Structure 1
Amino acid sequence: MGRGSRRRQRRPQLGIRSLRRRQPPEHHPGPGRKGPVVSSATTVVVLIAAPPGLRGHLTRWFIEVAPGVFVGSPNTRIRDGLWKILAERIRDGQVVMIEPARTEQGWTVRTAGQDRWTAADFDGLTLMSRPRRSAGQPWTTTKPVKEIGMIT
């Protein structure tokens, strides 16, 4: 076989169309969407000063991305069952669960245990506030969040 009898291989075109076809589906926003596609069922659980057994229990359904921070996509039945277990067993620690919801923000917050962080409604938005404590005294609210106009 000589040089002339070889089949000529077709070179891929490097135009815009060929680049669009090669990108994975998450880079195609689709009609009416902006940006990459993100799953709306992502749940985040944060454990603060929790018993070690709870961390092990959560690893069945979540990935621990940092110490005490778990991310996963369990269905509603599993998420509600996990919340029941977490709220019962947290003791002196605290657990915060951020889960998808049909709200303006697209998520809602559940907290249990010692209230180090609390969810506050501010004109329809959920904000998290950390209470200030003086030495040896528990935190108490003096005014509702909506009256003072901001969370400090």
Structure 2
Amino acid sequence: MKEDQIRKAVARRDHEAMEWVMNQYAGLLWKIVYSILHNASSEEIEECVADTFFAFWQNPLSFQPERSSLKNYLATIAKHKAIADIQYFLKYKLVYPGEKARRFSKEPRTSYLDSKYTFSNVRNTSHLIPKIILDKRGR
């Protein structure tokens, strides 16, 4: 299928077209998300990949085939969603010194948000962010 045909089919809510996209790009997106969320569980990585496909399903016409390939478009969405997950983790799941990094979870742990662990302590956790995030070009 050509990418413009895929885009139009998904815009018409063609489930077969979306299934084709998912079968075609799930492995690639999994690798991209895993490279960023390497401490996350497989369920959390799978959720990020599913969120990527859902974003495309919700707004397929934002993909412009003349500007980029579908592969690059989905990879960019996956990268940004994974980075958002890390930012959420750093915001709500601060790690006590010497403690292993906790899994990602959508529920904030208020015990980690006490007065001892404020925004200034987030700067001390920059070693948890993979280098790919620190590079502005994402390469």
TM normalised by structure 1 equals 0.26
Structure in which a larger fraction of residues adopt helix? 2
Whose strand fraction is larger, Structure 1's or Structure 2's? 1
Asked which structure has the greater RCO (Cα within 8 Å, sep 6+), the reply is 2
Q: What's the TM-score once normalised by structure 2's chain length? A: 0.28
